[in-house]
A and B are shown apart, each in its own frame.
Chain A
Amino acid sequence: MHVTFSEQELAFQSEVRAFFRDEYPEDIRRKRASGIDLPPEDQVRWQQLLHAKGYAGVNWPVEYGGTGWSPVQKYIYATEEANANAPMVVPFGLSMVGPVIYTFGNEQQKERFLPDILASRVWWCQGYSEPGAGSDLASLKTRADLVGDHFVVNGTKTWTTLGQHADWIFCLVRTNTEVSRRQEGISFLLIDMKTPGVTVTPIILLDGVPEVNEVHFDNVEVPVENLVGEEGKGWTYGKVLLQHERTNIAGVARSRYRAKRLREEAGRSAHGAAPLREDRNFMRRLAALEVELKALEYTELRTLAAVSAGKAPGPESSILKIKGTEIQQALDTLYMRAAGYYALPFVPEQFEADFTGTRVGEGSEARTALRYFNFRKASIYGGSNEIQKNIIAKHVLGL
């Protein structure tokens, strides 16, 4: 029983650490440190640097240009990435549709889509949820009717994150309504956002940011070659994708970084106030959170060890999703409390890259409440935490 890294793993750690130290652009680093939003072009520039280094396809097999890393290497990478406070990779291409295409797509699709995804030349977004299909995703109504060599798509997708920047969208659509189970008759379709009949309307979230969108499809013609895998099997493909998504959502390495930062900041005086370290209530909350986080870190490591031994990530990823998001949200609460009154200004423009006015508050403290509000989404997206509990109840406990 041990959690030490092998010499090769330590060498890999040094290599990754050196990359983040030397090749993480200073301007992006500075923006991240002061809570400034990254414009899409910075995001793409960063992902292309990762690609140049060979780090883009973290979960991808080598034959498709991925890293082929072992679970331990992925853990090391996630830790170094978090400790550098590097931007999160936009997951829709690299973490979601990419794996679906290389797992279930045909050769033509692989050749056509994978290189652009890996090189972040094409921005993808996700079309799963609908206004009438949230947790009950299988009730989705967007339909794709085969007419000649085209599907004609009609319907509305929602909660499409960063869809305003997207070039392509992957969708779950209903291609057959004459089915005995609702999970059948759903297909996985790739749609060019520039196709006539696609319109995007923003949804403003409670922090004032148009982060998500509704995407409307009005008689949108989609070539039949954009169907991934078999017609009617989309639900199965989508589930595989969601298991990857849930493991990523846990964000253990990011939370560790944020907890460590918070403990450091608690030792310092801000605005001339006594350091939070002297506040027993605050420190007890932080300590309790650190205990849960350490436990989750080892739950993740145990999952990784099982995956290394050849087991697929199964419904246990739901435990990581639940605990991971609970901890993220608890951290958000603590950051907000740490900021005190300075959590409360609603001046989002001061976190835009071109802001020239006078900032309120130090660092990113005036973002803490906004982040707290924004990340209430964490226990809702990727299948709400209640849905995760249903999954565990059924597939792990056999209830």
Chain B
Amino acid sequence: MDFSLNEVQMMLAESIEKFIANDYNFDTRQKIAATPTGFDTGVWSTFAELGWTAVPFSEADGGFDGGVEEIMVVMQRFGQGLVVEPYLANVILAGGVLKRLANDAQKEQWLQPMIAGELQTALAFAEPQSRYELADVVTSARADGDNWIIDGHKTYVLNGGTADLLIVPARTSGEAGASDGISLFAVATDSDGVTRNAYATVDGLRAAEVQLEGVRVPAAALLGDLNGGFAALEAAVDEATLAVCAEAVGIMRTLTDKTVAFTKSRVQFGVPIASFQALQHRMVDMLTACEQAQSLLLWAVMRYASGAGDARAAVSSIKYLVGTSGQTIGEEAVQMHGGMGVTWDLDVAHYFKRLTAISMLFGDADWHLDRLAT
């Protein structure tokens, strides 16, 4: 039994912590989040240079040979730094599909440039009607000679506005809602028939509504087997779910620390408000929730990495916990910061907004609890 990081994981952790401490303070983050694309290309290049974009890929793919443990190490620290760069969209989501399904030529064309930081990618996992059901794919693809013609509407495509390449799940057979009959296509965003409406999200990130109207792609755009794309889609989203849970645990810890520090310095009625038992017990509850979430995250990551039969339940368990106690921590942090907590200027508010977005991403707490309640 050992919960410590190995040497390589430790080095990765330290390099990210150093970067955030030296080069990514809250003001920097806010400036980056306010730019039109919502991320900084220089920072993104640094991520690639430091090898962070290569973390969850095999050595053969030019990667670091990391798995969900290493993803956890990265994302927990990105949570603490409130990083807005599109790591999840590129590395975990699009990268997660490409590493599983792309052939050598496709990897060379899309995966390697993404790892090198030169190609922006996105996975279009949601549609307006689908809510959190990945298999609810109405977007269709039909064969036309050697080409595929894709029609449909994708929503909340993370990094969709900046992406050069979209990975589009489309129905090639079967009923709406069936997991069989979904195929994944790599679609260049400058293709004819692709219309994007990019927007900012509440957490300072960027997403896009994407319309696909008669978009023609070549046979070589099909990733993996025809009708057999769902397993890779689901696996990429499972990993992404663990990734945002790790990010959330990092945020929960940061919010707890900040709240404790603030109440020790904030004086009212002539005393620090930390001396009030009404607040003390609530901060203890925050700490307890942090520890519980940290513990469950470790379990879920190890469970998932082991490929155990209940790996899916592990993902839903941690997502449920983060969606409930994480949200509570965010609300409590804001409450205990008083009026300042509801201002744009205070970092706490932005951590809270990111936690809120995470609580809904890939299924809210109720949705995941339902998967466990069988």
Interface residues, chain A, with chain B CB atoms under 8 Å away: 1-5, 72, 277, 280, 283-284, 286-288, 290-292, 294-299, 301-302, 304-305, 308, 316, 319, 322-323, 386, 389-390, 392-393, 396-399
Contact = CB atoms under 8 A, between A and B. Distances in A.
Interface string B183-227: 000000000000000000000000000000000000000000000
A382 to B, nearest CB: 16
Given A3-B1, A292-B292, A301-B1, A397 B283 contact: yes
Nearest to B300: A294
Interface in B1-32: 1-6, 9
A251 B18 CA distance: 40
Given A1-B298, A399-B275, 13 more contacts: A1-B2, A1-B4, A1-B69, A72-B1, A284-B369, A287-B320, A298-B296, A301-B1, A305-B2, A322-B288, A389-B284, A390-B281, A397-B283
Contact of B373 (A3, A280, A304, A305): A280
B289 to A, nearest CB: 9
A308 B277 CA distance: 34
B370 interface: yes
B280 interface: yes
Interface string B336-374: 000000000000000000000000000000000110111
Interface SS, A side: helix
B295 interface: yes
B263 A286 contact: no
A288 B302 contact: no
**Which of B283, B288, B374 lies at the interface centre, i.e. has the most chain A CB atoms within 10 A of its CB?**
B288
8 contacts: A1-B6, A291-B317, A291-B372, A298-B296, A298-B298, A305-B1, A389-B281, A399-B275
Interface of B: 1-6, 9, 69, 260, 263-264, 274-275, 277, 280-281, 283-285, 287-288, 291-296, 298-299, 301-302, 317, 320-321, 369-370, 372-374
Contacts of A319: 287-288, 291
A3 B295 contact: no
A294 B301 CA distance: 13
Given A291-B372, A298-B295, A399-B283, A5 B260 contact: no
Contacts of B302: 1-3
B320 A386 contact: no
B296 A287 contact: no
Contacts of A286: 373
A302 B260 CA distance: 23
B246 to A, nearest CB: 13
B373 A294 contact: no
Nearest to B288: A319
Contacts of B373: 280, 283-284, 286-287
A348 to B, nearest CB: 34
A393 B295 contact: no
**Which of A1, A4, A301, A316 lies at the interface centre, i.e. has the most chain B CB atoms within 10 A of its CB?**
A1
Contacts of A280: 373
Given A2-B2, A284-B370, A305-B1, A295 B321 contact: yes
**Which of A280, A298, A386 lies at the interface centre, i.e. has the most chain B CB atoms within 10 A of its CB?**
A298
A75 B317 CA distance: 23
**Which of B1, B5, B277, B292 lies at the interface centre, i.e. has the most chain A CB atoms within 10 A of its CB?**
B1
A143 B373 CA distance: 55
A295 B284 contact: no
B357 to A, nearest CB: 21
A47 to B, nearest CB: 28
Contact of A287 (B284, B291, B292, B369): B369
Contacts of A72: 1
Nearest to B275: A399
A392 B288 CA distance: 10
B369 A295 contact: no
A93 B264 CA distance: 42
Contacts of B2: 1-2, 305
A294 B3 contact: no
Contacts of B298: 1, 298, 302
Contacts of B287: 319, 392, 396-397
Contact of A295 (B1, B281, B292, B372): B292
Contacts of B321: 291-292, 295
A302 B280 contact: no
**Which of A287, A295, A298, A397 lies at the interface centre, i.e. has the most chain B CB atoms within 10 A of its CB?**
A295
A294 B1 contact: no
B284 to A, nearest CB: 4
Contacts of A5: 1
**Lowest 9 A-B CB distances belong to which pairs?**
A298-B295, A287-B372, A295-B296, A283-B373, A393-B280, A295-B292, A287-B373, A299-B295, A284-B373
Contacts of B299: 3, 294-295, 297-298
Contacts of B369: 284, 287-288
